[in-house]
A and B are shown apart, each in its own frame.
Chain A
Amino acid sequence: MNRRDALKNTALLGGTAALSTSLLGLLQSCQAQARLDWEPQFLSTAQAQLVGALVDTILPTTDTPGALDVNVDVFIDLVFHKMYDEAGQKQVTTEMTTFDEDCQSKFGKVFADLDGEQKTTVLREAEANSPKSGRGVWGMSVEKTEPVGFYRSLKSLAVWAYCSSEEIGKNVLNYDPIPGPYQGCVPLSDVGKVYSL
């Protein structure tokens, strides 16, 4: 079952008093979407909605679970909260503001409030304009590259959060905790999926 669907209709009721004026404005303009059923530790509600909408667009629910089904947004909030230092937190906060401001200036709405086609347009552009991470050797990049920027670093975080989650790692990817002696050349079709570990 989708926990989010279940909570969708009740989320607004309990939290209205605590909502900021900007969020109220947002909700008034867009009653049907963009609400939160969890309490971020680092992100503001609006930022959490941005992150949620981004990861949902990058890894939507299909015949396999999507990012929101495995709480990728909740985990990313935790990463910002616990793993980022102050400078990193400041930077990502600024980047999120800029990202939504760009959406505002183009479409008059923040990213979370855009329709599917508009979201795709925004991410196509972000994808094309984001430098790639350098290839790595033994845990460190060996390629000199430009900073990847907000979109690609969020996308990388989302992929990590998604694939390292128990649901995806154990039940969707090929989970092989004790492979036995290494076999160097097996048909891909025998493995079927990408390895979890």
Chain B
Amino acid sequence: MSNYDYNYNIDAKKNMTYDAIVIGSGMSGGWAAKELCEAGLKTLVLERGRIVQHLKDYPNIDKESWDWKLRGGITPAEKKKHYKAIRTNWIGEGNKDLYANDEENPYTEIKPFMWLRAHQMGGRSQLWGRQTYRWSDLDFEANAKDGHGIDWPIRYKDIEPWYTYVEKYIGISGQALGLPQLPDSHFLPPMELNCVEKDVKARIEKNFPGRNMTIGRVAHLTVPHNGRGQCQSRNKCSMGCPFSAFFSSTSVTLPAANATGNMTIRPWSIAHSIIYDEQKGKATGVKVIDAESGEMVEYFAKIIFCNASTLSSTRILLNSTSNRFPNGMGNDSGELGHNLMDHTYRVGAMGVFEGHEDKYYKGRRPNGIYIPRYWNINEETQSDKFVRGFGYQGGAYRAGWGRGGNMDDFGADFKKSLLNDPGPWHFFITGFAECLPYHENKVTLDTDSLDKWGQPTLAIDCEWKDNELALNKQIQEDAVEMLEKSGLKDIIGFDNKHEPGFGIHEMGTARMGKDPKTSVLNAHNQVHGCENVFVTDGACMTSNSCVNPSLTYMALTARAANHAISELKKQNL
């Protein structure tokens, strides 16, 4: 049983010097903190927002719609505060405080880009979709094989032990399939498919040899694990899980780091820049703006982990200028800020399934189905229209009372049907396509537009190009065809033409590589030319696969942290 401690030491006044500083407490920062603290390093974690104590700081954990005056709806003033992220349609009374204040933290969209931020302890690990997939060598070799971007400095064998390490600790549920393009994790028992999903799976796999449909692989416990409880299908994850059944850094990694006694976490601490010492030739600390007082404070450490989230980490590096790094720390190559990627989003098909009207399900499964990539995985599946590929998420459900507005009736019979008939079964799949790393998809520091603390903001200049659009076209065509051949009715194909950012899988802008001339980080996520700084969040990604990235961030972070610990012991940093 793990030892979790939710009473955090936030006193960063006595001590300004630590062994390690971790910037950010989200998905990857939590892992950095845990690994470094467990190795005995006195570690300062900088969090730009408030402390979130697991269970204690989830004010909405037990609320139902009727407990809110507006039943979960929000006012125009609240919408304005979240004017960027409101585009997702996900922000309501129960989770609005988990989304950053867009008015205080503006950014410029040179081209439309939805940048979703979470500015409190735990970051987006409280909001994530919890889908958890390993990458394969198909992904790590992609750039080298088709010539887009630069080669990854690592392969599957380098990260595999760290996937195992992370998975065994956090608990991933799923079904082993033995597919080379989507390696199996160490799985807890899979969640169940519902009866319609089972039928559609059988029909797709019969009609389309080489395609598979499986239950989503998720960071939810289907059995108790490491002192945490099993998922109870409430599907209110972002409001906090009373059973600690899904992984977040606030429920798992940060409490584990804290239990060592080696962690100090400083809330309201905005990392301004990383301090570079020209004589020593390395970083010595972090300049921090106190978000409440506006005061600048400096903290010092032997190593620094930058885990502020993809674009925020890059913003910190761009802001970290010195004689040695006049254009931003680690930017000898000129690639810092470039090669921004995301996954395409909300392209697919949906239809109505006839049958199983006498069946229902029990529980609100916080998960759906997954169809692993099947294009360009071997000689037989090469497309002449695009490189790389896509996977689908989706699921089957009965519409329930949510269909009421569209029903053709009103009055007593209508009400009876609304309350007693869950309505037809719907099934949908929606694709996530890989995006190529383009140098011109980039972020830059915008010194004309400042945030609440007078700091330069980011200007984002990113768009889909021909390959992503060709993938989306195929996603929709294939989705419609699979649904047609599976006997669904009333099928529509869809493409909401969302701009990049909607996938909330932004990656790149400080990529790993073998050559300092073309990359920002080395094979262990160390900044070229300043090797005691590690960047292990989505910024480090050299390509972006088509699968959800969080597991890979966690594995890369654990790997880099253990490399840092070993290098520190050898006095190499």
Contact = CB atoms under 8 A, between A and B. Distances in A.
Given A142-B494, A165-B66, A62 B363 contact: no
Nearest to A189: B358
A155 B410 contact: yes
Nearest to A186: B362
Contact of A85 (B76, B414, B430): B76
B232 A181 contact: yes
Contact of A127 (B76, B232, B409, B416): B409
A57 B420 contact: no
A186 to B, nearest CB: 5
A160 B71 contact: yes
A172 interface: yes
B129 to A, nearest CB: 9
A120 B362 contact: no
B405 A156 contact: yes
B193 A159 contact: no
B361 A83 contact: no
> Which residue among A133, A153, A186 has the maximum number of chain B CB atoms within 10 Å of its CB?
A186
Nearest to B189: A181
Interface in B393-430: 400-401, 404-406, 408-412, 414-416, 418-422, 426, 428, 430
Interface in B184-204: 191-195, 197-198
Nearest to B405: A156
A185 B195 contact: yes
B470 interface: no
Interface string B336-369: 0000000000101010000011111111110000
Contact of A142 (B90, B193, B496): B496
Given A82-B70, A83-B70, A187 B358 contact: yes
A182 B420 CA distance: 21
B172 to A, nearest CB: 16
A90 to B, nearest CB: 13
A135 B492 contact: yes
B363 A182 contact: yes
A75 B362 contact: no
B419 A194 contact: yes
Contacts of A66: 415
B71 A164 contact: yes
A43 interface: no
B62 to A, nearest CB: 8
A12 interface: no
Contacts of B73: 79, 82-83
Interface string A132-151: 11010111101100001000
Residues of A contacting B: mostly: mixed
B350 A142 contact: yes
A123 interface: yes
B201 to A, nearest CB: 11
A179 B364 contact: yes
A164 B66 contact: yes
A160 B411 CA distance: 16
B244 to A, nearest CB: 14
A147 B40 CA distance: 61
B192 A184 contact: yes
A32 interface: no
A123 B234 CA distance: 37
B104 interface: no
Contacts of B71: 75, 160-161, 164
Interface string A156-197: 110111011110111011001111111111111111111101
A153 B71 CA distance: 17
A133 B406 contact: yes
B230 interface: yes
B70 A79 contact: yes
B419 A188 contact: no
B89 A140 contact: yes
A143 B230 contact: no
B346 A57 contact: no
B405 to A, nearest CB: 3
B414 A181 contact: no
A191 to B, nearest CB: 5
Contacts of B191: 182
Given A83-B73, A188-B358, A137 B405 contact: no
A83 B74 contact: yes
B231 interface: yes
A103 interface: no
B496 A140 contact: yes
Contacts of B414: 58-59
Given A135-B492, A176-B362, A194-B419, A83 B66 contact: no
B64 interface: yes
17 contacts: A58-B414, A62-B412, A83-B73, A127-B408, A135-B426, A140-B89, A156-B406, A163-B404, A164-B71, A179-B363, A179-B364, A181-B192, A182-B363, A184-B193, A186-B360, A186-B362, A187-B359
Given A127-B408, A137-B346, A189-B358, 11 more contacts: A66-B415, A79-B73, A82-B69, A142-B350, A142-B496, A181-B231, A183-B362, A184-B197, A188-B422, A194-B418, A197-B364
